[in-house]
Amino acid sequence: MHWHGAPKTLRKAGRSVTLGALVRPAMASQSLFTDKEITDMKYPMVIGLVAATALMAGCRKDAEAPQLDLSSLESKVSYAVGVSVGRNIKNADFDVDQASFKAGLDDALAGAELKVSEEDAQKAFEEFSKQQQEKEEARIAAEAAASAEKSAAFLAEYAQREGVTKTESGLMYKVITAAEGKKPTESDVVTVHYKGTLVDGTEFDSSYTRGQPANFPVGAVIPGWVEAIQLMPVGSKWEVVIPAGLAYGESGAPPSIPPQAALVFEIELLGIGPAPAPEANTNVGQ
């Protein structure tokens, strides 16, 4: 499996390993077509379908839905593209002006003089894109502030718990099962079972749930893991709390992990071994 969009903190020597669900997309929210597939289609067809989608959403509110014949390849592709662009409009948080949409479609199909010039249209798109970016940045900043506050409160409380050890970096851990086995180094490959949660207990990844331990190079994962694993003897099981600065920091790992989030892991170090064969699974969480 390739780790598309893995945070830079996980990349080392051209190879990235992350923790399970951190970079897996939410399949239920994916469009039927990729952005490239939409872009590669004929531009007028996409514009027409976007307009049709918006018009159907508004102008047919009180009308009975038409009976569709989706038996042909063309009708299926047309429907699929309609679903995709409809989702894109919905996700863009954009209130479509249906009258203006229809006027633009009619003028384009009739070859009439456009009421908004190409230059003005481009400027409008650029301004809209700027507004959307500013809204997203504000949303992320608010999410980061809330996450940082919640994480700071949890870290302060966790540090007072009985049996907790805190390192110079701010990493904290509590031994669940002690062992006297060998401790790995950063150059080793380890096999572990683990579960990861946010500070509110929300689970974002678990090798236990998958029923298969993970195998990966110690030096290829987030800094908090690199530090913790090297402190653990083989056979031990720890609860490890990783501050945001040793995890995914201000970027987070959408959609599972918000920015500035401290993370809680239950880690069981099963063994230290040689690097697996190329065909073997080397991805944490795969």
CA atoms within 13 Å, Cβ hemisphere of 215: 13
Check whether the bond before 184 is cis (ω within 30° of 0).
no
Task: Give all strands (DSSP E) within the chain, no chain letters.
Answer: 11-12, 15-16, 164-166, 172-177, 189-198, 203-206, 214-217, 237-242, 263-273
**Residues carrying an active site annotation:** 194, 204-205, 222, 248, 265
Q: Which residues sit opposite 196 in a β-bridge?
A: 205, 265
**HEC per residue, 127-154:** HHHHHHHHHHHHHHHHHHHHHHHHHHHH
Q: What is the DSSP string of 242-255?
A: E-GGGTTTTT-BTT
Element (H, E) at 181: none
Tell me which residue of 61, 267, 252, 220 sits closest to 142, measured CA to CA.
252
Q: Which residue has the tokens 């897996």?
A: 24
Contacts of residue 37, Cβ cutoff 8 Å, sequence gap at least 6: none
Q: What is the rounded CA–CA span in Å between residue 283 and residue 169?
A: 26
